[in-house]
Structure 1
Amino acid sequence: MNQDQIEGTATDLTGKVKETIGNATGDTETQNAGVADQLSGKVQKTIGDTKETVAAAAAPLADKARKFANDRPWTAAALAGVVGLAILNTLRGKKSA
């Protein structure tokens, strides 16, 4: 669980408490603030969930790239050079050959 997930859950729970207090006291401002906090917390938690998913999906790719570079250092260096030149040409507005 990452920081965004923890903070999102805490904000959501705080919002639920505010909404409940607002309902009990008839204070619509507190009730609305609680609903807003819940929404904010859910969005933050979703961002944290997305970060976790991306990290889990990227880890195997990074491991494969590291293994490729260790097994074939010259090929990896040449590939990095070609990609670097393609990026430079793109940034300068030239077409790569």
Structure 2
Amino acid sequence: MTKSKDKKREKISVATEIDRVEERRIRFQDNIEKAEFRTRREVLSDRERQDLEDEMTIMRERVQRLDKDLITLRGENRRNMMLSVALLALSAFFYYAFIYGDEDL
């Protein structure tokens, strides 16, 4: 099952993966804000307050993990972009060398 999941992930572009992770991060951040608002506005029992604090801690950890994933994905995206630019420059060089270089002969 892990291999099929990895194969599906390989087909997703880095930019799409970045968008997906950013959306998940935004949802977690919104949930944290809602929970913080609830702790300030509602009268909660100690048990409810502790459960809410535990949930907020878990969500904050997930946001931190998503931030790390975003850093990794953005680095990979940057590397892919630089590779694309290098290939474009190399193609332009060969095009110039072989097309315009033959005119001198």
Q: TM-score range by the shorter chain?
A: 0.5 to 0.7
Per-residue CA distance 1:3-45 (angstroms, 9 max, x = gap): 2211221121122123223322431121112211211221222
**How do 1:1-97 residues align onto structure 2 when only pairs under 5 Å count?**
2-23=15-36, 24-25=38-39, 26=49, 27-66=52-91
Does structure 2 retain, via aligned residues, the 8 Å contact 1:14–1:37?
Answer: no
State how far apart, in whole Å, the 1-side matches of 2:27 and 2:54 are: 15
Q: Which runs of 5+ in 1 are unaligned?
A: 73-97
Question: Relative to structure 1, is the Cα distance of residues 14 and 33 closer, same or farther in structure 2, using a 3 angstrom cutoff?
Answer: farther
Structure 1 stretches of 4+ with a deviation exceeding 3 A read 63-72
C-alpha RMSD of matched pairs (Å): 2.7
Task: Report the secondary structure of 2:59's partner residue.
Answer: helix
Structure 2 alignment gaps of length 5 or more: 1-13, 40-48, 99-105
TM-score (norm 2): 0.51
TM-score by length of 1: 0.54
Secondary structure of the residue that 2:72 maps to in structure 1? helix
The CA distance in 2 between the partners of 1:22 and 1:30, in whole Å, is 9
How many residues get paired?
72
